[in-house]
Amino acid sequence: MTNLQMPATRDYGWALKPVSSSHFNIHQKGNGQFCVVLNHALLRGVSAEMLHWWFLNFTRLRVLLKDVPGYVLQEVPGYWLWHPVDHLSATLSGNLGPGGVAKEGCSIHIREAMQYDRFGWKYPVDAKLKVYYVGSDGWAMGKALPLVGPVMMLRIHFKDVFEDGQHVGVHYHYEVVIGATGNNPVTRFINRKIASEFGPEFFAAWHRHNVIEVGTFENFLPALFAQKDASSSVEYARDMNPDLPSPDTQTGYDWALFERRLSGYKNSDTPYVYQQYQSPSFL
């Protein structure tokens, strides 16, 4: 990974969300397996339909940046809008949907670095994962080993939120399970090996990365979604930025859900079953 060149930071003029806008915790099991729960602030101006479209298409999107400093009239991967610092590339392969969109059973190759502005390549990701779920309510990807089963699974849930009959945003919730289930010499060895690359220290850095990543949806996704019928190439300019209040006072959207899901992982002997990574949303 250190031989790869991270693109220069993109200054879109956005106010990035702080980690205080989320609920986050890591629970480590006795066998070295661990579980992460991250509950985000409500996504304002975004709909579940927009998010579903994004996850189907983001790897193939090209975006013409009209007025971003250092990128004026340059076409870049849509993945570079999803995080202004940490993202390098994301590509799909295998059995894809019509036009090359994501489909359950395909593979995704992700290259990025957690908090690149602070740590450089200390916490890199250069991973090829299987996509297990592509739904109107979420997304799941991960890795399984023969005779062992899942050893990494990342599951996203999202749901429209209404107040007094009016759409006010999206509840966006993220859970990760890392390591093999069970407690024997084989699973403990596997979990030590996985944790050496993707352990709790990595996911502590991932916390800020993901809060920024998810928060940016409020800034760019409505503008890109409005162009969804144009082509795989769309445009973005800083004057498209919505007039949003500061995110500094936001907190995670659902504390009760966060506590319930974290408690569930602490009490579960089968975290991947509890995670429901191949099931519809539990929100």
Q: Is residue 84 part of a domain?
A: yes
Q: Is residue 167 part of a domain?
A: yes
Q: Is residue 151 part of a domain?
A: yes
pLDDT of residue 230: 76
Radius of gyration of the chain (CA): 18
| Residues of the chain with confidence (pLDDT) below 70 | 1-2, 231-232
Range of the domain at 98: 19-275
pLDDT digit string (tens) for 200-240?
A: 999 999 999 999 999 999 999 999 999 998 766 799 999 99
Q: Is residue 188 part of a domain?
A: yes
Q: Is residue 9 part of a domain?
A: no
Q: Is residue 14 part of a domain?
A: no
Sign of CA dihedral 59, 61, 67, 70: positive
Q: Is residue 282 part of a domain?
A: no
Helix 200-215 to helix 217-225 angle, to the nearest 10 degrees?
50
pLDDT of residue 256: 98
Domain count, the chain: 1
Q: What is the CATH number of the domain that holds 112?
A: 3.30.530.20
